[in-house]
Structure 1
């Protein structure tokens, strides 16, 4: 399976992704009366969030969930919730009760993961993820035992990256997602993107492989050179 690649230009990156997200969310609202999206972290998210909040969407009918969270205080700059709150949820059009936070500041991480899994909707229309330099997605890093999860939807993990402790959807959790969007732009993502497109290794070795059914946004810097 190969992902659908959408090549974007630097000045249009955030807008292009935001418009594709909007298409899926609007479609879900038309068919079910509600839309669900799972957010993640990464520097490229900032551009998308800024463009997304400028769109005219049925905000009262959109639920925001999280594909992963760093176990840090709510207002910590590394918190995925903090970034989304600052760039999206601060908009008065968005219902505060329509955003569902993973409580990363609690110390009982596995309990938090279980509680979040119990609240997770049966259907998530869109998941927005960023390709890591090592091929990780959300809180799923190469070699993580979480990549072998077939039953639990959300788990707590310990990584070799700061912040070390995170809570993340598992492959079983991502199976609930209708459309996965992967942000994979920039020359520093070229190695990971090339490995994913070549299906170089299993999902345990390259977690990005769990999203090969998705839409990947790339640019001239990240695309493999022949």
Structure 2
């Protein structure tokens, strides 16, 4: 238990030092956190062994941030930004995914892998971009609203991407990760790719339907 407190203390001290310095030099708090992580991790080796545990807290923070974004959106505002949301956001995702897939295929990747890589490069971090926009005072500007529309479309596009990924799995790689003892607890582990995709879509649709009722 003492080790956790020491690691938490190191993280807090690094953040307290790095973030104000980054803001003072006009770099933003996001870059300050990244620099602090590089210093206390790979450079000094003070932390890093507990990465898996920290990821759970980080994911929880991202989820809470998305809840805050959702609470600030109303149906009228969402409908008013439909042109930016579908037009600008859809264009960015499609073009970026196509460019990434083309580059991957040109480098010799099979088309399934190239498409997966392209879809990954079409996404960006909503948490990082929104934090940067708020710090720079650009969130309410025309460019900030356009950037938010693109980010929101990317978050929505993750749903069909998650359903598509199982269909892109290469047969020779399926099961290559080995059995870690949790496969028996999965209800979709032994389903074919198309059935796995349908389960993902059905699960997400059920969550959305339950939230709107």
Highest RCO, 1 vs 2 (Cα 8 Å, sep ≥ 6): 1
Q: If each structure's helix is expressed as a fraction of its own residues, which one has the higher value?
A: 2
Q: If each structure's strand is expressed as a fraction of its own residues, which one has the higher value?
A: 1
Report TM bin, short chain: under 0.3
TM-score for the superposition, normalised by structure 1: 0.22
TM-score for the superposition, normalised by structure 2: 0.22
